[in-house]
Amino acid sequence: MRILYVEDDPRSAAAVGDILAQSGDVLVWEDNGSAALLRAGLENFDVIILDRMLGDIDGLTITRRLREGGIGTPILILSALGRSSDRADGLDTGADDYLAKPFEPAELVARLKALHRRATGREHSAVILYGAFECHVKARTAFRDNRHLALSPKEFELFRYFMENAGEVVTREMLLRQVWKMDFDPQTNVVDVNIGRLRRKLEDGFARPALETILGSGYRLLDGMP
């Protein structure tokens, strides 16, 4: 991926640079808003990462001007303003995702991949096939090795989200936001418990595991092939 990162704090920029170097992505760094606006219009990027509190133009204004200018590159706001009202402001302005500092490195990588995947149009098909799994989006049915999986409506939504991000890390925050519309992490271990229940339904009667827990970051759907 080719990523534009707009951030006025060099240390934050270096930290993100380190993270993305490991995943083999190309990071272009700009430390002010006007240079970023110019560059975003001139060059092609897969994703733009924006800080909010910049020296000249703030991140929300950059987002608005890019959208008004017809530039649809996925935007992830990476900001120290992390309250749920701040997130809502960012998403309402036209950003596609919002991550607050400090963040989990794996969370950033997962979000960027999900954004890129969504932008390249690898979803919204009627049937999603991955390994031994099938997800019939319209009929709301799930199969593993052609065997029907009896999922509750919410479990199906969880499963579908995993299928849309098959083989990639899905974080707890992503699940809370996408499946339960919650932009904060409740004190109770609700995500782990609900994932546990889905895992049992996906694995019951099969030899191979279906969901992998990745410590400190989230979960990944495995292909479930025998």
Which stretch in 65-73, 77-85, 130-138, 161-169 sits in contact with other proteins by CB under 8 A? 77-85
Q: State in angstroms the smallest separation of the CB of 163 from other proteins.
A: 20
Of 23 and 189, the one with the shorter C-beta distance to other proteins is: 189
Cβ nearer to other proteins, comparing 66 with 78: 78
Q: Which of 38, 216, 223, 225 binds other proteins (CB under 8 A)?
A: 216
| CA 59, chain centre distance (Å) | 19
Rule CB under 8 A: which of 119-148 touch other proteins? none
Q: Is 27 in the site for other proteins (CB under 8 A)?
A: no
Please report whether residue 61 would count as binding other proteins according to CB under 8 A: no
Alpha carbon distance 74, 90 (integer Å): 13
Say how many residues make up the chain.
Answer: 226
180 is a contact residue toward other proteins (CB under 8 A): yes
Residue from 182, 201, 203, 220 that binds other proteins (CB under 8 A)?
A: 182
Rule CB under 8 A: say whether 23 interacts with other proteins: no
CB 214 within 8 A of CB 106: yes
- The SS3 call for residue 189 is coil
| 8 A C-beta contact, residue 63 and residue 93 | yes
Ramachandran angles phi, psi of 147, nearest 5°? -95, 130
d(CA 73, CA 52): 17
81 contributes a contact to other proteins by CB under 8 A? yes
Q: Does 44 bind other proteins (CB under 8 A)?
A: no
Closer by beta carbon to other proteins, 84 or else 120: 84
Q: Cα 10 vs. chain centroid, distance in angstroms?
A: 24
Supply the angle between the helices 172-180 and 190-203 in degrees, to the nearest 10. 90
Eight-class DSSP state of 157: H
Q: Amino acid letter at 132?
A: A
Compute the distance between CA of residue 158 and CA of residue 178 in angstroms, rounded to an integer. Answer: 9
85 binds other proteins (CB under 8 A): yes
Pick from 30, 134, 164, 183: which binds other proteins (CB under 8 A)? 183
Binding flag, residue 193, other proteins (CB under 8 A)? yes
Binding residues for other proteins, rule: CB under 8 A, are 9, 11-12, 15, 18, 53, 80-85, 88, 100-103, 105, 154, 180-184, 186-190, 193-194, 196-197, 216
